[in-house]
């Protein structure tokens, strides 16, 4: 009996001194692996006897056995790493082109000045207004909060027409900037689109901006050959704008693809929310 107890004691010592110490060691090891490989770990690491930390090279099950990346993906129901999306969907402003600060904002201010409205949006204010999807909606929300200009009409219906006329003029001024190519494509956009089209991935642009402005960006900056292969969903093509997922749902339906097989490239919180709500994967890029 004494011999058996001694064997059990030695076995326990080799495992780290019992369950409490083993869990502590598992957490420490997992944290170390995550710190060096840049992985994300579940919050309840210490509560589990097996913690998984994944990297592009494979998957190491801390406190358990080593498993290959393919086996982990298969068990989680994820597609193989080499699979391509059925469609690649881009937002326009801030994704294809850095248009907001030195494009749309400038055009809004020029429109306000032409109409002598006494309104000017600085960079900080415009950054806050970008939380509202759509130019007409943005102006309406701003005037509702700060007060309508003296030259604005008084009834709701007339104000809708007033906003529409402002937005039309703003779009004309913005398109003039695009025609002059004063707002170039962001680095890497053209290459990414070419690679996607070359591999048979459908490409579309889904934006809350005016359809004419988006079409001008695509045709002028990407060229007519690429533009012919890119589907555009923009402006008032859907009744509810981002963060509502309607535009991405429409895109998937029109392109004939499942939302779960699409990848969206966005630059805003409302865009991310729209993509996620539609069931699509989303990459967020930082815009200027």
- Considering the candidates 78, 91, 228, 267, report the single residue annotated as catalytic: 91
Which of the 8 DSSP states describes residue 235? G
CA distances (Å), origin 100, targets 122, 168, 217, 236? 12, 17, 13, 19
Distance CA 245, CA 252 (A): 11
The tokens for 216 are 């001008």
Catalytic (active site) residue 122: no
Q: Helix or strand or coil: residue 62?
A: strand
Which of the 8 DSSP states describes residue 104? I
172 burial via Cβ count (<10 Å: 0-12, 13-18, 19+): middle
223 burial via Cβ count (<10 Å: 0-12, 13-18, 19+): exposed
Gyration radius of the chain's alpha carbons: 27
Catalytic (active site) residue 91: yes
Distance CA 76, CA 73 (A): 5
Distance CA 236, CA 210 (A): 8
- Considering the candidates 93, 194, 258, 267, report the single residue annotated as catalytic: 93
Secondary structure (DSSP) of 124-169: HHHHHHTTS-SHHHHHHHHHHHH---TTS-SSHHHHHHHHHHHHHH
Residues serving a catalytic function are 91, 93
């Amino acid at each position: 009996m004494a011999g058996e107890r001694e064997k059990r004691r030695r076995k326990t010592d080799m495992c780290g001194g019992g369950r409490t110490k083993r869990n502590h060691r598992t957490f420490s090891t997992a944290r170390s692996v995550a710190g060096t490989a840049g992985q994300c770990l579940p919050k309840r690491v210490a509560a589990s006897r097996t913690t998984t930390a994944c990297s592009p090279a494979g998957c190491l099950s801390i406190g358990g056995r080593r498993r290959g990346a393919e086996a982990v993906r298969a068990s989680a129901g994820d597609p193989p790493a080499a699979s391509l999306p059925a469609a690649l969907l881009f937002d326009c402003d801030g994704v294809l082109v850095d248009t907001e600060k030195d494009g749309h904002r400038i055009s809004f201010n020029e429109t306000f000045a032409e109409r002598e409205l006494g309104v000017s949006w600085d960079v900080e204010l415009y950054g806050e207004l970008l939380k509202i999807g759509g130019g007409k909606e943005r102006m309406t929300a701003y005037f509702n909060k700060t007060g309508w200009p003296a030259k604005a009409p008084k009834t709701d219906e007339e104000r809708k027409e007033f906003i529409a006329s402002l937005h039309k003029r703003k779009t004309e001024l913005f398109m003039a900037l695009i025609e002059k190519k004063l707002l170039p494509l962001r680095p890497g956009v053209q290459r990414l689109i070419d690679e996607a089209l070359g591999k048979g991935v459908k490409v579309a642009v889904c934006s809350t901006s005016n359809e004419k402005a988006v079409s001008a960006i695509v045709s002028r900056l990407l060229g007519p050959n690429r533009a012919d292969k890119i589907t555009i969903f923009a402006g008032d093509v859907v009744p509810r704008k981002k963060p509502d997922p309607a535009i991405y749902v429409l895109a998937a339906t029109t392109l004939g693809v499942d939302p779960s097989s699409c990848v969206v490239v966005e630059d805003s919180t409302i865009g991310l929310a729209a993509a996620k709500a539609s069931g699509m994967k989303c990459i967020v890029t930082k815009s200027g």
